[in-house]
């Protein structure tokens, strides 16, 4: 038997009248004659033609939707419409039966909610096949972008003992018997007796450790899972998500913005090129979905157009203060259409405000800089005005915040003062402060939420649909 060939290769084949072996899962079986076979290498199926008159009826009965089969036959130029090549089957072997009465994935449209409950099988649908191939391409492109620029991929720890950043939003890591935790004399949980000899948690960000790497390797990036126990049941938040966090020595906030914008454009262009069929499929899917909406709620651009648009336009850069002025004067604010009205300088922007700026006002991706220090983290570099910090957030249409970053405070005294002001224990972060003591330098970095990027590129509406097995409040199935 000739070696198995993947369907994406077969479909591009110019050489016909050759023997081939193809394996995959049946997507449809029409007229006891035409099998649509898919193996996940592309969202296109190969057509297998079965000579049913000369095939054992018992075998034909086992060619059902979802069954795994192996086909040996001849690749020929297709007679029918819709495909250039097809395989005339000589032998069909059933590798795994699939009971059509019980198989949850039927050849019809399933709701995304139903498929979420069947996440173990949803890879077998066109939509999820496309999403996870795009996700794969994007993660490869992220590495390629940084590797081409000499960044070092640094693995920061998943388990950390510093709770400096995500106070209260972390998952604890312990091997205590929870019904029987050792106590101190004063009745508190005695973490000294726990595995790490102290309280530990799952990381919310690799940034602080990333900075340590950058202070010697110049440019590093992390790309790993992060965990947040925030009880936000939104379409933009997961309890476990992947984050890309570059950290660059000798880089200021402008370098930081330039890198983030270049990264986003690079990976989007890469996916558009590499996953043409998948993105075309997802574009059509979105058009169909939007037909259900009233005309005025449909997007002006198709998914592909939106991605192209993002590549060919500079992101709009403005300060938080300028954004507040725009929002204050905006129609939804004046007509009290915002759920949270923008009254003055200093308040945090809600997702509805971010989306107004991006989708209605500028109609393109926006980078907001120089936020009030009160609403940003302690490590962000303090501006000379004494009120703002050198933060930068990138806001995307349909998503809101996709990147959060800043130039870091490299001046020891200013950093320590800020930590004192907001009550962050300096002794716990002695190692972080050491980088400011020993050869500190201006540096910058950002965090890109990987699933939010995948959301944008696939045009999906719910973050639970762009990670294989989503973790969110009250759900850790699979």
Q: Which residues bind ligand ATP (CB under 6 A)?
A: 228, 230, 236-238, 241, 243, 401-404, 447, 449, 451-452
Q: Which of 84, 15, 92 is nearest to 49 (CA)?
A: 92
| φ and ψ at residue 323, rounded to 5 degrees | -65, -40
| Nearer CB in complex with ligand ATP: 124/237 | 237
| φ and ψ at residue 291, rounded to 5 degrees | -65, -25
| Nearer CB in complex with ligand ATP: 228/285 | 228
Q: Least distance in Å: CB of 241 to ligand ATP?
A: 4
Q: Least distance in Å: CB of 232 to ligand ATP?
A: 7
CA 301 to chain centre: 22
Q: Which residue is nearest to ligand ATP (CB)?
A: 449
| Nearer CB in complex with ligand ATP: 60/229 | 229
Strand 85-96 and strand 46-49: the pairing is: parallel
Which residue bears the tokens 């909610």?
A: 113
Q: Least distance in Å: CB of 218 to ligand ATP?
A: 22
| Nearer CB in complex with ligand ATP: 66/470 | 470
Q: Least distance in Å: CB of 132 to ligand ATP?
A: 17
Q: Least distance in Å: CB of 405 to ligand ATP?
A: 8
| Nearer CB in complex with ligand ATP: 66/449 | 449
Q: Are 205 and 447 in contact (CB under 8 A)?
A: yes
Phi-psi sector, 399: left (phi>0), alpha (psi -120 to 50), beta: alpha
For residue 29, the surrounding DSSP H or E stretch is strand 18-30
Q: Least distance in Å: CB of 240 to ligand ATP?
A: 8
| Nearer CB in complex with ligand ATP: 66/447 | 447
The 3-state secondary structure of 226-293 reads EECCCCCCCCCCCCEEEEEEEEEECCCHHHHHHHHHHHHHHHHHHHHHHCHHHHHHHHHHHHHHHCCC
| Nearer CB in complex with ligand ATP: 189/429 | 429
| Nearer CB in complex with ligand ATP: 222/435 | 222
Q: Which of 231, 169, 159, 229 is nearest to 198 (CA)?
A: 159
Residue 74, Cβ density class (10 Å: 0-12 exposed, 13-18 middle, ≥19 buried): middle
Q: Least distance in Å: CB of 29 to ligand ATP?
A: 40
Q: Are 286 and 294 in contact (CB under 8 A)?
A: no
Q: Which of 452, 449, 438 is nearest to 211 (CA)?
A: 438
Q: Least distance in Å: CB of 219 to ligand ATP?
A: 19
Residue 217, Cβ density class (10 Å: 0-12 exposed, 13-18 middle, ≥19 buried): middle
Q: Least distance in Å: CB of 390 to ligand ATP?
A: 14
Q: How many residues does the chain have?
A: 478
Q: Least distance in Å: CB of 268 to ligand ATP?
A: 15
| Nearer CB in complex with ligand ATP: 38/205 | 205
The rounded distance, in Å, linking the Cα atoms of 240 and 44 is 31
| Nearer CB in complex with ligand ATP: 89/399 | 399
Alpha-carbon separation of residue 115 from 1, 69, 109, 122, 201 (angstroms) = 37, 24, 10, 6, 32
Taking each helix axis from N to C terminus, what angle separates 450-458 and 126-148, rounded to the nearest 10 degrees? 120
């Amino acid at each position: 038997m000739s070696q198995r060939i993947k369907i994406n290769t077969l479909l591009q084949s110019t050489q016909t009248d050759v023997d081939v072996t193809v394996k995959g899962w049946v997507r449809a079986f029409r007229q006891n004659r035409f099998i649509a076979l898919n193996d996940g290498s592309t969202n296109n199926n190969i057509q297998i033609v079965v000579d049913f008159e000369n095939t054992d009826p018992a075998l034909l009965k086992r060619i059902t939707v979802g069954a795994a089969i192996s086909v040996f036959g001849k690749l020929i130029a297709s007679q029918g419409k819709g495909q250039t090549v097809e395989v005339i089957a000589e032998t069909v072997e059933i590798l795994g039966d699939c009971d059509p009465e019980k198989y949850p994935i039927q050849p019809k449209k399933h709701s995304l909610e139903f498929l979420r409950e069947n996440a173990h099988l949803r890879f077998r649908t066109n939509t999820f096949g496309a999403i996870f191939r795009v996700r794969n391409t994007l993660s490869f492109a992220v590495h390629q972008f940084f590797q081409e620029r000499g960044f070092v991929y640094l693995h920061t720890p998943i388990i950390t003992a510093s709770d400096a950043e995500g106070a209260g939003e972390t998952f604890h890591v312990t091997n205590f018997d929870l019904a029987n935790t050792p106590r101190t004399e004063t009745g508190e949980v005695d973490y000294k007796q726990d595995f790490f000899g102290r309280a530990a948690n799952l990381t919310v960000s690799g940034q602080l450790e990333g900075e340590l790497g950058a202070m010697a390797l110049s440019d590093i990036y992390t790309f790993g899972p992060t965990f947040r126990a925030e009880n936000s049941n939104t379409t933009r938040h997961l309890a476990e998500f992947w984050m890309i966090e570059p950290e660059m020595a000798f880089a200021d906030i402008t370098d930081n913005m330039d890198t983030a914008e270049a990264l986003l454009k690079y990976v989007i262009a890469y996916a558009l090129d590499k996953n043409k069929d998948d993105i075309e499929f997802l574009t059509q899917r979105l058009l169909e979905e939007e037909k259900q909406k009233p005309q005025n709620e449909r997007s002006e651009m198709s998914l592909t157009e939106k991605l192209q648009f993002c590549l060919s336009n500079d992101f709009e850069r403005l300060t938080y203060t300028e954004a507040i002025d725009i929002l204050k004067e905006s129609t939804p604010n004046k007509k009290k259409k915002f759920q949270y009205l923008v009254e003055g300088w200093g308040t945090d922007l809600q997702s509805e405000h971010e989306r107004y700026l991006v989708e209605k006002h500028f109609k393109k991706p926006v980078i907001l800089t120089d936020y009030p220090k009160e609403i940003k983290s302690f490590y962000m570099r303090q501006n000379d005005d004494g009120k703002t910090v050198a933060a930068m957030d990138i806001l995307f249409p349909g998503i809101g915040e996709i990147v959060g970053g800043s130039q870091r405070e490299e001046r020891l005294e200013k950093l320590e003062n800020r930590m004192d002001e907001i009550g962050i224990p300096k002794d716990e972060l002695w190692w972080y402060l050491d980088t400011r003591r020993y050869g500190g330098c201006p540096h910058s970095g950002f965090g890109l939420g990987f699933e939010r990027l995948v959301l944008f590129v696939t045009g999906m509406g719910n973050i639970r649909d762009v990670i294989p097995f989503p973790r969110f409040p009250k759900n850790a199935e699979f």
